Structure 1
Amino acid sequence: MKALIIAAGRGKRISGITKNKPKPLLPLLGLALIERVILTSKQAGIDEFLIVIGYGGKKIKEKLGNGSKYGVRIEYVENDEWERGNGISVLKAKEMIKENFILLMSDHLFDADIIKKLQKAQVNNECILVIDKNPEEYIDLEEATLVKIKNDRIVNIGKGLDEYDGVDCGIFLCSTSIFKALEESISKGNESLSGGIKILANKGKVKYIETKNFWIDIDNKDDHKKAEKILCKNLVKPTDGFISRHLNRAISIRISKFLVKT
């Protein structure tokens, strides 16, 4: 199965630490955000990627190349309207995708098990969203895309919903029906991906899978710090003894953080 990664936006809210790099290339413990998305997906069995680029697209292509250094295959599609809604970026891939696909954001980190579970699901002219019903405290609900569910279907999606049952994790299994839905949404003035999903939801064509695994949206500097802290914490093994956990491992983590920043 192929994965479509949206990497066209500028990421203004985090521009203070990107140092003239496009947001997908923002480093996090030695790897760019988009590299982490690719490598985590590869761990889940995905080896073909289509990346939508826009702002700083040349730098992204120079960094990732054809994917051979990661053991995957990467193709690109350009979005010269990257300042518009993210639904435009998804729609740009319409001519290059003719079957079901995984849809990912270049600034969302996640556990590989989420993708493994999603690949086992079945879609028929519909979409499946990964949602979190009990998001961790580091997830900003004011900025998050919220979802309302009924039975096994999503019936509403958007920011600032008065009633909601979970948070959209930015990870999807889509059929090509998403493209027609986006065209309809855009024609009505809503250029967001959520707009297209809502069109499908109104037709009863959006299911969900709940996850309790790690995920985070790197939206700003604080999110970046939180992600770094979480990833470093995960370096501490449950089997570590007291000395390893509180001395050896702590020193190793500090050295690792120092090395990736030099």
Structure 2
Amino acid sequence: MDALILAAGFGSRLREVEPCKPLTRLHSLSLLEIAVRQLASVGVTRVVVATGYLADEIEAALPSIAELAGILVEARRVQDYNLPNGHSVLAGAAGFSGEFLLVMADHLFSRQVLQALVDRGVPDHGVVLAIDRRVDSPLVDPDDATWVETGDDGRIRKIGKSITRYDAVDCGAFLATPALLAAIASAIAGGKAGSLSEGMQRLADDGRAWTTDIDGAWWIDVDDARDLELARQQVTEQCPELFASDEFQGSVPA
């Protein structure tokens, strides 16, 4: 299975403390390496990283990440990384022919979240989004979250940062098909800016955007210094398999 990691953005809210967000380290591993390793653990054999801001620096780190993770990792540059993240999806996933996992470089997940998506599969040539029903979780930033309103059948009704009626939060992990790329392109052709959420809403309107509930599994969006500190405090407990080998014991706190 292929996977796409979005790593093209500026990371502006974290830049004062960490100039390159995807390469920000949590003990012995960077955010980007954690994402690659977790994807590999659920059966991904090739990871594409969509790069833009500080692309040279990020791309220079990929060979060692690929070697340690034991899978193919390649970069695809986004032509204009000032544009919304749907453009990164179009650039990074171009040529993908089947189901693929899609995650953000600054989102951390326990393996359970990604495994739930793989086990779920995608019906109707659409997309499945991992959601968290804990909308008031202290790990969720209400000013930055993407909210989701779901139907009784598990389909998405509405998705976006500004919707006022919702019952879940978007975790930033997707099992997608090329239908997502077509939906983003259709939204852009219709005058939208080209965000991932706009493409998701197109599929939702078509009845082809589904959800899977993470059922209390751990995840966090590392958006600012507070999030980073929380992630550093929790990641070794929540993702112990990443830090279990002798290779990492010297850099993980007791």
- How does the TM-score come out when normalised to structure 1? 0.86
Native 8 Å contact 2:192 2:198 kept in 1: no
2:220 to 213, 216, 223: 216
Residue 203 of structure 1 corresponds to: 206
After alignment, is 40-49 or 202-211 more displaced?
40-49
How far the C-alpha of 1:40 sits from its partner, in A, is 1.5
Partner of 2:112: 113
CA RMSD of aligned residues (A): 2.1
* Residues 157-194 of structure 1: per-residue CA shift (max 9 Å, x gap): 00132110100000001010011110111222232100
The 5 Å alignment of 1:123-138 reads 123=122, 124-135=124-135, 136-138=137-139
For residues 250 and 141 of structure 2, what CA distance do their matches in structure 1 show?
27
Q: Give the aligned partner of residue 250 of structure 1.
A: none
Give 2:50's aligned residue.
Answer: 52
Percent identity over the alignment is 30
Q: CA offset at residue 224 of structure 1?
A: 0.2
Q: In the aligned structure 2, how far is the partner of 1:40 from the partner of 1:94?
A: 19
Q: Is this contact kept in 2: 1:45–1:116, CA < 8 A? A: no
The answer to whether the Cα contact below 8 Å between 1:109 and 1:215 also exists between their aligned partners in 2 is yes
2:67 and 2:103 mapped to 1: Cα distance?
A: 20
Secondary structure at 1:92 match in 2: helix
Where does 1:141-152 land on structure 2 (aligned, <5 Å)?
141-151=142-152, 152=154
Q: Deviations over 1:60-85 (max 9, x none)?
A: 11112171232111122110201110
Runs of 4+ in structure 1 deviating by more than 2 angstroms, as ranges, are 93-96, 231-236, 253-258
Q: Distance in 2 between matches of 1:214 and 1:55?
A: 28
Is the CA contact 1:142–1:160 (under 8 Å) kept in the aligned structure 2? no
CA radius of gyration, larger in: 1
Show the 5 A alignment for 1:1-262.
Answer: 1-18=1-18, 20=19, 22-65=20-63, 67-123=66-122, 124-135=124-135, 136-151=137-152, 152-187=154-189, 188-211=191-214, 212-232=216-236, 234=238, 256-257=252-253
Which AA in structure 1 matches 2:221? D
Contact 1:50–1:76 (Cα < 8 Å) also in 2? yes
Displacement of 1:233 in angstroms is 5.1
144-153 vs 186-195, greater mean Cα deviation: 186-195
Give the corresponding residue for 1:247: none
